[in-house]
Amino acid sequence: MTRLSIVIPVYNAEKTIESLCKTLFDLYGSRFELEIVLVNDNSRDSSHIICRRLHEAYPESLTYIRLARNFGEHCAVMAGLNHATGDYAVIMDDDFQNPPEEISRMVAEIEKGYDVVYTHYPVKKDNLFRNLGSTLNDKMANVILQKPADLYLSSFKIMNRFLLDEVVRYTGPDPYIDAIIFRATSNIGRVEVRHDKRRHGRSNYTIGKLISLWGNMVVSYSLIPLRLLGVAGLIMTIIGIYVGGTSLLDALLPSRQDPTEYETLIALTSFFRGFQLLAVSVVGEYVGRIYLALNCDPQFVIREKFSARKKVQIAAIHTGHNHDHDKQTGN
């Protein structure tokens, strides 16, 4: 029987996570050897209590991981993938916007031989702000990650064991899972699925989180900003040559009226100093991320782990500081 892991990052999902897990077990508990991995990204509500209750209800099939602080969705997913043991791993949200019924279609598609299958939606049920952010993120990924233009970067996706093992090999402090996938494979499928409205609450993505995500994509997984700075520097050099040539002509042709020395100095100084500050900030961002990587800044830190099935603790996580208390109750 195919072993299917479903990784769910949990954040303030007290009203949905229990119903979601029960639905998944009802739909797929007999069809697959099902494993659910819940990763609580330091929720502020009672999600921890509910996840503990779910582990006690399904001790052989559900692993619950509680992180020590809020690390963000991608880090939480990486924590879950590091503990997923299935032949395939599904990543889905905790709010029912990703319909559990569609997972069977995703499994059928990846069994055709793909390493990963992304979902896409005929109609998205997010608010205008979230849809706009998703569209901008998709367009940026076309350039920065060289993503195929017809591929939508949905968080609802499934990958095989080969790709999962490659993804968790990444140990950097700012994982962007889609970028890691594109580094590892081009054997990518897509399947159309339904997209539902959130049953409770609202999206946890703020403008600050979206900007941080975009910045992470641009700086951590591409040299394009540095190359753009090089192109800009070349253009500025050409402009400088043009300005110098114009000044020479003005000196040779007294009939031409030229700006005062003060105006010229202020304009050139402001332009070049502003550009220098921009260049330094971008280069500093790269250097800072190198520092974080060398400093072993963790992707995640596990406070507690309640494992399914296994008596022996899974080996220490590649990327996190393993401060978890592995409270194992399964057989």
Q: Could you give the CA distance from residue 90 to residue 69 in angstroms, rounded to a whole number?
A: 24
What is the percent of the chain with per-residue pLDDT over 70, rounded to a whole number? 64
Q: Could you give the CA distance from residue 248 to residue 319 in angstroms, rounded to a whole number?
A: 60
More confident: 266 or 323 = 266
Query: What is the mean predicted confidence (pLDDT) over 82-91?
Result: 97
Per-residue model confidence (pLDDT) at position 262: 62
Is the pLDDT confidence value at 75 over 90?
A: yes
Question: Residue 290's pLDDT band (boundaries 50, 70, 90)?
Answer: confident
Q: Could you give the CA distance from residue 37 to residue 18 in angstroms, rounded to a whole number?
A: 13
Per-residue model confidence (pLDDT) at position 263: 55
Q: Which tokens belong to 161?
A: 């064991």
Question: Residue 39's pLDDT band (boundaries 50, 70, 90)?
Answer: very high
Per-residue model confidence (pLDDT) at position 244: 62
Is the pLDDT confidence value at 318 over 50?
A: no
Question: Residue 276's pLDDT band (boundaries 50, 70, 90)?
Answer: confident
Is the pLDDT confidence value at 207 over 50?
A: yes
Q: Could you give the CA distance from residue 174 to residue 293 in angstroms, rounded to a whole number?
A: 9
Per-residue model confidence (pLDDT) at position 211: 63
Is the pLDDT confidence value at 94 over 80?
A: yes
Nearest to 5 by CA among 155, 109, 158, 113: 158
Per-residue model confidence (pLDDT) at position 195: 86
Concatenated DSSP letters of 233-251: HHHHHHHHHHHHHHHHHHH
Of 32-36, 91-95, 107-111, 176-180, the least confident? 176-180
For residues 140-175, one letter each, b for 16 or more C-beta atoms within 10 angstroms of the residue's C-beta and e for the rest, the string is bbeebbebeeebbbbbbbbbbbebbebbbebebbbb
* Domain locations along the chain: 3-221+298-326, 224-294
Alpha-carbon distances, residue 281 vs 122, 159, 169, 225, 285 (angstroms):
40, 36, 29, 11, 6
Of 66-70, 216-220, 294-298, the least confident? 216-220
Is the pLDDT confidence value at 331 over 50?
A: no
Q: Could you give the CA distance from residue 47 to residue 201 in angstroms, rounded to a whole number?
A: 14
Contact by Cβ (8 Å): 47, 11: yes
Kindly indicate whether the domain formed by 3-221+298-326 is annotated with CATH number 3.40.50.720.
Answer: no
Is the pLDDT confidence value at 330 over 50?
A: no
Distance between alpha carbon 142 and the CA centroid of its chain, in Å? 15
Of 17-26, 147-156, 218-227, 292-301, the least confident? 218-227
Is the pLDDT confidence value at 100 over 50?
A: yes
Query: What is the mean predicted confidence (pLDDT) over 263-267?
Result: 63
Of 15-29, 251-265, 274-288, the least confident? 251-265
Q: Which tokens belong to 247?
A: 């000044």
Query: What is the mean predicted confidence (pLDDT) over 289-312?
Result: 75
